[in-house]
Amino acid sequence: MKTNRFTPAQITEAAALLKAGEVVAFPTETVYGLGAIATDPKAVAKVFAAKHRPADNPLIVTVATTAMVAEYATITPAAQQLMTAFWPGPLTIILPVLPGRLPAVVTGGLSTAAFRLPASAVTRDLIAATGVPIVGPSANLSTKPSATKAEHVLHDFDGVIAGVVDAGPTPVGVESTVIDMTVTPPAILRPGKLGPADLEPIIGPVQADHHHVAAGETPKAPGMKYKHYAPAAQVVIVDAPADWPAALAWAKVSGTAYGVLASPAILATVPTGVPTYALGGDIQAATHNLFAGLRWFDLHPSVSLVLAQAYPATGLGAAYMNRLDKSAGGRHFTQEQA
Ligand code: TXA
Ligand code: MG
Consecutive 10-residue averages of pLDDT for the chain (338 residues): 97 98 98 98 98 93 97 98 98 97 94 97 96 97 96 98 98 98 97 98 91 51 68 95 96 94 98 96 97 96 95 97 95 81
Give the per-residue pLDDT at 229.
Answer: 87
Give the per-residue pLDDT at 215.
Answer: 47
Task: Tell me the residue type at 313.
Answer: A
DSSP state of 73: B
Q: Cβ(10) to ligand 1 under 6 A?
A: no
Pick the atom of ligand 1 nearest to 114's CA.
Answer: 26
Pick the atom of ligand 1 nearest to 136's CA.
Answer: 6
Cα-to-centroid distance, 161 and ligand 2 (Å): 17
Q: CA-CA distance, 314 to 50, in Å (whole number)?
A: 35
Pick the atom of ligand 1 nearest to 53's CA.
Answer: 13
Q: Cβ(135) to ligand 1 under 6 A?
A: no
Q: In what order do the strands lie in the sheet with 134-135?
A: 4-6, 163-165, 24-26, 33-37, 134-135, 60-62, 112-116, 91-96, 177-180, 187-190
Give the per-residue pLDDT at 290.
Answer: 98
Element (H, E) at 305: strand 305-309
Give the per-residue pLDDT at 227.
Answer: 67
Give the per-residue pLDDT at 336.
Answer: 74
**Quick one: angle between helices 316-327 and 283-298, nearest 10?**
20
Cα-to-centroid distance, 241 and ligand 1 (Å): 33
Among 36, 122, 56, 135, which Cα is nearest to 92's? 135
Q: Cβ(161) to ligand 1 under 6 A?
A: no
CB 131 within 8 A of CB 78: no
Q: Cβ(57) to ligand 1 under 6 A?
A: yes
Cα-to-centroid distance, 135 and ligand 1 (Å): 10
Give me the residues paired with residue 277 across strands: 261
Task: Tell me the residue type at 284.
Answer: Q
Q: What global pTM score does this model have?
A: 0.95
CA dihedral 158, 278, 123, 314 (to 10 degrees): 130
CB 160 within 8 A of CB 48: no
Cα-to-centroid distance, 229 and ligand 2 (Å): 8
Pick the atom of ligand 1 nearest to 172's CA.
Answer: 1
Q: Whose CA is nearest to atom 19 of ligand 1?
A: 223
Q: Cβ(113) to ligand 1 under 6 A?
A: yes
Note the ligand closest to the C-alpha atom of 176.
1
Q: Cβ(173) to ligand 1 under 6 A?
A: no
CB 194 within 8 A of CB 90: yes
Question: What is the separation, in whole angstroms, between the first and last Cα of the chain?
Answer: 51
